[in-house]
Amino acid sequence: MESRLLRVDLTTGEMRAETLPHALFERWVGGSGINNWLMWEHFLKHDIHCDPRSPDNVFVFGVGPLAGTGSGSGVKGRITFKSPSYGIFGDSAAGGKFPYMVRFAGFDHIVVTGRAPRPVYLYICDGNAVLCDASHLWGRSTGETHTLLQQELGDYPSHAHTLTIGVSGENLVGMSGVISDASRIHARGGGGCVMGSKNLKAIAVQGSGSIKVHNPQGMLKWSADFRRRIDANEAIYGFKRRGTLGAVEMYQHIGSHFWRNNQGCLFRGDEVRSDNWVRKYHKYSEVCSADCFIACDGRYKLDGSESPKAAKYAGESFRRPEYLTTASAAGALDVRDWAEVAHWGKVTNEYGMDNQDLSCSISFLMELKEKDLISDREVAELFGRPQRLEWGNMEDIEACIHDMATRSNLFAELFNDGPYWGALRYSQRMGRNFMKYATYGKGGASFTEEMRPFPTWMNNMAVASRGADHLKGIGLIEKFQRRDLSKRYFNGRTEAADLTIPDLKGASTALIENQVALINSYGVCLFHWMLDPAGFAPEEYYQPAFTEVTGIARTPAELMRDGERICNLEKAFNSRLGLRREHDTICERWMYEPTTEGMYPGSVAANMFETVLDEYYDWRGWDRTTGLQRRDRLEALGLGDVAEVLATEGALARD
Amino acid sequence: MSNLPQKELVTGQQWYAPDTDIPDVHEKLYALQNQCTDCNICEIACSLVHSPEGELNPLLSRIRISHAPSVNSRKAAHGFGFVSAICHHCGNPPPCAEVCPVDAFYYDPKTNVAVIAQDKCIQCMECVPACPFDVVFVAPDGELLKCDLCGGEPACVEACATRPEMNNAGKQYTRAPVLFHADAKAFRSVMQQKPEKRDEVGMMQAMLERGEISSSA
Amino acid sequence: MVRIHTQYQSRFREITGIPGETFELEQPLVSELAWKIAGKYGPRMESLLIDRETNELNERGTMYVDSKGRRVYMEDKLADGETIAFLIGIAGG
């Protein structure tokens, strides 16, 4: 396995292609693993404590070896950077055809450093790269930018695919994401802000090159078998039609939604349900990013008759909302009409912003307003105009989205790094403590799902390397109450599936973080694994595919160690930044405020939080007191060099 | 069989005399465009099976299917585009083979399909504009690409990811790929029905029941 | 004899065509309910609901919960009047 890396220094305009050696794939698998390593290397030479919005930050894009090889498990690109909104490790994945086309254009990874003197876009075609003037794209929405670039570049030698930022990224709004192919967002962490700080409006690719597969016949055989296993699972056909929207019903039953800034955990009203979406809005075939056997994505076009509010948006067409788009609108902001939820998804995407940080910032203020903790005059001061801040009022909300993207008032200045930093700055400014109404986890990142009755999830929110998030160690065993999986991974013990006790919850996080790191490094989609058509163990069923594509022989146990190695590098990055046990925490509301509804009313995270965190550190082999890594464990993972760096900076646990 | 005078064509092993009766191709590829999910796996599989070195590239594929809501492609009334370019395997002589100055086309006796002998082809590209459906493609390296049905078992059909259901609640159900290899006459007979009776899923159900297409799922 | 209510959602509703119904069971067991539903709606429902290898409920990509949100298993006993929801199990997004 060999692939190419493009290094771009925007300050000097210098570009260089390098070959990534086979050994790098043996150590870091590919995709997010190699991305992490490239960023680690960058920050050995540059100040890791730099301002993430400065030219010293790095922006890494990468795809894994299985992406676009006919594996049928989707294609996910990954961006890695130091997060401007949370100030720690940041990365984010998205699909679309961009990551697929990057490979045909000749590169698997792109490292962007420096800052361009004026707005540019990076154009890559068949092994060549050039920086082009982007002044005509500056100020445009992500969709317009994508269309203009496609017009500009034409269809030769292939369709053009793009990675763009919207107005919010240009304005260095911390919660800005990067949009892949106009509709799929690398949302978390503020990648769009990093691109904006580099004056990089877009990356466009066209390619007619080939991907080399070690054993094509073997790969074809593997993928035919994988497809048969997927097809044989009847549940997949429910997922194909509605994607992650299926979670709406499930969460309503187990009380896992995030309602009105998490004052509740169930949606109100009957409209926002996946069955209603399928019945009224699902008019076109499912579509997928590329190379996917499931195709859970869909497109809608409103004719205005679907719901009471739809008439306002008649003619609007976009991608179908995902669960977290829905959770942030229908949950956090209590929008009860599907057309408005879809519109929320479209608008935030056009500006290029993370739904969750944005909705939690707005819902935080809505709650303050609802509880009369801030006056109309104070709201008007914040927004520079009278603002109603009513739950579910889409006009109101849309005005807030616009403010944030254009960074046009005090609200945007205070809250552009998400609800934690926003609440903190606002509390300081007002001289009153509003922190108990802010919902956030590690790094100040917000998350729009209830986690108080779900110990693995609360643990995820506290330990995820990129700040509060479920996609690093998603607690499936527990949320689906899968006793079979608990037995399989923990020697016949069923505790991991029991929500009422803390046992094996930290262990589940550690286990699943390794599996997720592996999947992300393959460059494929997480959902093929989550739907479990092939037995939940990605280290087993992707193992032959990895070997057919790269020629690297691995046992499933070795692959799990690869996953652990990747997770440990992310941890090491954060340790260098000074993160310790006390930073692995969640907000006051989740920690101490009891739930009032759902599966286990009266749940607070504090009951189990420390026990689960201790167990997580134990399974990771990290020090309980400081949360730092130990030298012996790092050396056992082949990370002696990383341990050395940590030791010199005092970020290694003492023996 | 056409009444036009036929050119001399070659198979791998045997020559066809000008008056040889070459049967029409009955089994062709069809795609149900409203069910396709634009995953490109058919193109990937096509390029993989035709490349002994394991080169994977949609531009080396012999079929092209793409949803292209891009500005440069034609759009359907609902605003989303769809382009499918699949060889029609024209009756004899196929226009692509007819214009070939070096007789690089031969017939695969197994499928009756015209195939390009790459060792004879001089890449003059005469066949590209000759194709009435624009489905002879030029690879980035100049190689001419025409569907050969993989000798009867098309890899694209095997790889097709989307399998709509052919069923009503409670009825015996099955699934078939969106891209399928079917008998042309049977396909035509269904397609000639009135549009309101001609929903593709129902059509495929009928064809599956008659064994005219196969379902590997 | 117990009466058990069912709620079908997403994939389950597509197959059954109804949002829910009531079953009368001889034995108050999930297994009896599952096989009754599978028998009523045919092989597609059976393959969605029951893992034929283990004869357990199919756990892959599905979720079956009682009115308190707890997952039910084949051997679980059901109380009279209980409601079981049949869902597609997916998290995140």
pLDDT in tens, A247-279: 999 999 999 999 999 999 999 999 999 999 988
| CATH number of residue B99's parent domain | 3.30.70.20
* Least confident stretch, A509-518, A633-642, B115-124: B115-124
A654 has a pLDDT exceeding 50: yes
Q: Per-residue confidence at A478, pLDDT binned at 50, 70, 90?
A: very high
Give pLDDT, residue A297. Answer: 86
Q: Does the CB of C63 have a partner CB in chain A at under 8 Å?
A: yes
Residue bearing the bigger pLDDT, B175 or A540 = A540
B15 in the same domain as B121: yes
**Domain containing residue B188:** 157-209
B123 in the same domain as B165: no
Q: Per-residue confidence at B160, pLDDT binned at 50, 70, 90?
A: confident
Q: For the segment A297-322, what is each residue's pLDDT rounded down to a tens digit?
A: 888 889 999 999 999 999 998 989 99
Among candidate residues B124, B149, B174, the one where a domain is terminated: B149
Q: Does the CB of B168 have a partner CB in chain C at under 8 Å?
A: no
Q: Does the CB of C69 have a partner CB in chain A at under 8 Å?
A: yes
Does C43 contact B173 at a Cβ distance shorter than 8 Å?
A: yes
Give pLDDT, residue A136. Answer: 97
Domains and CATH numbers, chain A: 3-206 (3.60.9.10), 222-408 (1.10.569.10), 455-648 (1.10.599.10)
B135 in the same domain as B40: yes
Q: Does the CB of B83 have a partner CB in chain A at under 8 Å?
A: no
- Tell me the longest C-alpha to C-alpha distance in chain C: 42
Question: What does the mean pLDDT of chain A come to?
Answer: 94
Q: Per-residue confidence at A156, pLDDT binned at 50, 70, 90?
A: confident
Q: What is the mean predicted confidence (pLDDT) over A105-123?
A: 97
Q: What is the mean predicted confidence (pLDDT) over A271-290?
A: 84
**Domain containing residue C30:** 2-88
Give pLDDT, residue B32. Answer: 77
Regarding beta strands A120-125 and A200-206, do their DSSP bridges make them parallel or antiparallel, or are they unpaired? parallel
Q: Per-residue confidence at A629, pLDDT binned at 50, 70, 90?
A: very high
B145 in the same domain as B195: no
Give pLDDT, residue B167. Answer: 46
The reply to whether B53 falls in a domain is yes
B101 in the same domain as B49: yes
**Looking at this predicted complex, what is its ipTM?**
0.95
Give pLDDT, residue B71. Answer: 40
Q: Is A135 exposed, middle or buried (0-12, 13-18, 19+ CB in 10 A)?
A: exposed
Interface of A with C in 559-598 (CB under 8 A): 598
**H-helix or E-strand spanning residue A82:** strand A77-82
Nearest to A147 among B37, B57, B71 (CB): B71
The reply to whether C77 falls in a domain is yes
- CA closest to C46 among chain B residues: B170
Regarding beta strands A161-164 and A178-180, do their DSSP bridges make them parallel or antiparallel, or are they unpaired? antiparallel
Domain tally for chain B?
Answer: 2
Question: Phi/psi class of residue A575: alpha, beta or left (left: φ > 0; alpha: ψ in -120 to 50)?
Answer: alpha
Q: Does the CB of A294 have a partner CB in chain B at under 8 Å?
A: yes
The reply to whether B217 falls in a domain is no
* Least confident stretch, A382-391, B70-79, B203-212: B70-79
B161 in the same domain as B145: no
- CA closest to B175 among chain C residues: C44
Question: Distance (Å, rounded) from C-alpha A3 to C-alpha A99?
Answer: 14
Q: What is the mean predicted confidence (pLDDT) over A440-452?
A: 95
The reply to whether B51 falls in a domain is yes
Contacts of B175 in chain C (CB under 8 A): none
Give pLDDT, residue B80. Answer: 54
B128 in the same domain as B101: yes
Q: Per-residue confidence at B3, pLDDT binned at 50, 70, 90?
A: very low
Residue bearing the bigger pLDDT, B216 or B129 = B129
Question: Distance (Å, rounded) from C-alpha B22 to C-alpha B113?
Answer: 10
Question: Distance (Å, rounded) from C-alpha A95 to C-alpha A78?
Answer: 9
Q: Per-residue confidence at B108, pLDDT binned at 50, 70, 90?
A: confident
Regarding beta strands A3-9 and A14-20, do their DSSP bridges make them parallel or antiparallel, or are they unpaired? antiparallel
Q: Per-residue confidence at B36, pLDDT binned at 50, 70, 90?
A: confident
Does B169 contact C15 at a Cβ distance shorter than 8 Å?
A: yes
Separation in Å, CA of B164 to nearest CA in chain C: 14
Helices (H), A233-385: 236-242, 247-254, 274-276, 323-326, 338-351, 355-370, 376-383
Interface probe, candidates A229, A230, A248, A254, chain C, greatest C C-beta count within 10 A: A254
Q: Per-residue confidence at B20, pLDDT binned at 50, 70, 90?
A: low
DSSP β-bridge partners for residue A366 = none
Q: Does the CB of B217 have a partner CB in chain C at under 8 Å?
A: no
Q: Does the CB of B72 have a partner CB in chain A at under 8 Å?
A: yes
Among candidate residues B100, B126, B149, the one where a domain is terminated: B149
A452 has a pLDDT exceeding 80: yes
**3-state SS, one letter per residue, for B67-107:** CCCCCCCCCCCCCCCCEEECCCCCCCCCHHHHCCCCCCEEE
Separation in Å, CA of C29 to nearest CA in chain B: 24
Separation in Å, CA of C48 to nearest CA in chain B: 13
Q: Is A285 exposed, middle or buried (0-12, 13-18, 19+ CB in 10 A)?
A: buried
C-alpha C55: how far from its chain's center?
A: 14
Contacts of A484 in chain C (CB under 8 A): 56, 59
One-letter amino acid at A646 equals L
Interface probe, candidates C12, C44, C46, C47, chain B, greatest B C-beta count within 10 A: C44
The reply to whether B215 falls in a domain is no
Give pLDDT, residue B216. Answer: 46
Give pLDDT, residue B17. Answer: 40
Separation in Å, CA of C10 to nearest CA in chain B: 14
Chain A with chain B: Cβ pairs closer than 8 A? 130
Domain tally for chain C?
Answer: 1
- The tally of CA atoms less than 13 A away on the side-chain side of residue A434 is 27
- CA closest to C17 among chain B residues: B169
B196 in the same domain as B131: no
Residue bearing the bigger pLDDT, B177 or B120 = B120
Q: Does the CB of B49 have a partner CB in chain A at under 8 Å?
A: yes
Interface probe, candidates A229, A240, A250, chain C, greatest C C-beta count within 10 A: A250
Question: Distance (Å, rounded) from C-alpha A354 to C-alpha A176?
Answer: 6
Q: For the segment A9-44, what is each residue's pLDDT rounded down to a tens digit?
A: 999 999 999 999 999 999 999 999 999 999 999 999
Nearest to A239 among C56, C61, C73 (CB): C61
Q: Does the CB of A247 have a partner CB in chain B at under 8 Å?
A: no
The reply to whether B3 falls in a domain is no
B16 has a pLDDT exceeding 70: no
The reply to whether C46 falls in a domain is yes
What are the residues whose beta carbons fall under 8 Å from the beta carbon of A522, sequence distance 6 or more? Answer: A29, A30, A31, A64, A65, A66, A67, A73, A538, A542, A545, A546
Interface probe, candidates A249, A470, A508, chain C, greatest C C-beta count within 10 A: A249
Give pLDDT, residue A205. Answer: 97
Q: Does the CB of B34 have a partner CB in chain A at under 8 Å?
A: yes
Give pLDDT, residue A295. Answer: 85
Give pLDDT, residue B217. Answer: 39
Q: Per-residue confidence at B206, pLDDT binned at 50, 70, 90?
A: low
B91 in the same domain as B163: no
Q: For the segment A184-225, what is each residue's pLDDT rounded down to a tens digit?
A: 999 999 999 999 999 999 999 999 999 999 998 899 999 999
| CATH number of residue C64's parent domain | 3.10.20.30
B144 in the same domain as B44: yes
Give pLDDT, residue B7. Answer: 43
* Least confident stretch, A182-191, A393-402, B91-100: B91-100
Q: Does the CB of B74 have a partner CB in chain C at under 8 Å?
A: no
The reply to whether C93 falls in a domain is no
Interface of A with C in 303-332 (CB under 8 A): 322-327
Separation in Å, CA of C77 to nearest CA in chain B: 28
The reply to whether B68 falls in a domain is yes
A606 has a pLDDT exceeding 60: yes
A172 has a pLDDT exceeding 50: yes
Separation in Å, CA of B212 to nearest CA in chain C: 23
Does C10 contact A275 at a Cβ distance shorter than 8 Å?
A: yes
Report DSSP state, residue A57.
S
Q: pTM above the 0.90 mark?
A: yes
Nearest to C71 among A255, A481, A532 (CB): A481
Q: Per-residue confidence at B4, pLDDT binned at 50, 70, 90?
A: very low
Q: What is the mean predicted confidence (pLDDT) over B171-200?
A: 68
B72 in the same domain as B50: yes
Give pLDDT, residue B77. Answer: 40
Residue bearing the bigger pLDDT, B3 or A130 = A130
B196 has a pLDDT exceeding 70: no
- CA closest to C86 among chain A residues: A250
Does A246 contact C47 at a Cβ distance shorter than 8 Å?
A: no
Among candidate residues B149, B170, B197, the one where a domain is terminated: B149
The reply to whether B72 falls in a domain is yes
A7 has a pLDDT exceeding 90: yes
The reply to whether B39 falls in a domain is yes
Give pLDDT, residue B14. Answer: 41
Question: Distance (Å, rounded) from C-alpha C71 to C-alpha A4?
Answer: 48
Q: What is the mean predicted confidence (pLDDT) over A54-67?
A: 96
How many Cβ atoms sit within 10 Å of the Cβ of residue A363?
31
Residue bearing the bigger pLDDT, A513 or B53 = A513
Q: For the segment A332-385, what is each residue's pLDDT rounded down to a tens digit?
A: 999 999 999 999 999 999 999 999 999 999 999 999 999 999 999 999 999 999
Interface probe, candidates A481, A482, A528, chain C, greatest C C-beta count within 10 A: A481
Give pLDDT, residue B202. Answer: 61
Give pLDDT, residue B212. Answer: 67
Instruction: Out of A326-335, B131-140, C82-91, give the one with best mean pLDDT.
Output: A326-335
Give pLDDT, residue B82. Answer: 66
Does B54 contact A208 at a Cβ distance shorter than 8 Å?
A: no
The reply to whether C14 falls in a domain is yes
Q: Per-residue confidence at A533, pLDDT binned at 50, 70, 90?
A: confident
Q: Give SS3 for A78.
A: strand
Does B169 contact C43 at a Cβ distance shorter than 8 Å?
A: no
Nearest to A234 among C48, C65, C73 (CB): C48
Q: Does the CB of B71 have a partner CB in chain C at under 8 Å?
A: no
Tens of pLDDT along chain C (93 residues) come to 899 999 999 889 988 989 999 999 999 999 999 999 999 998 889 989 998 888 999 988 899 999 988 999 999 999 999 999 999 888 876
Does C16 contact B169 at a Cβ distance shorter than 8 Å?
A: yes
* Least confident stretch, A367-381, A629-643, B193-207, C8-22: B193-207
From B49, B145, B56, B54, select the one nearest B96 (Cα to Cα): B145
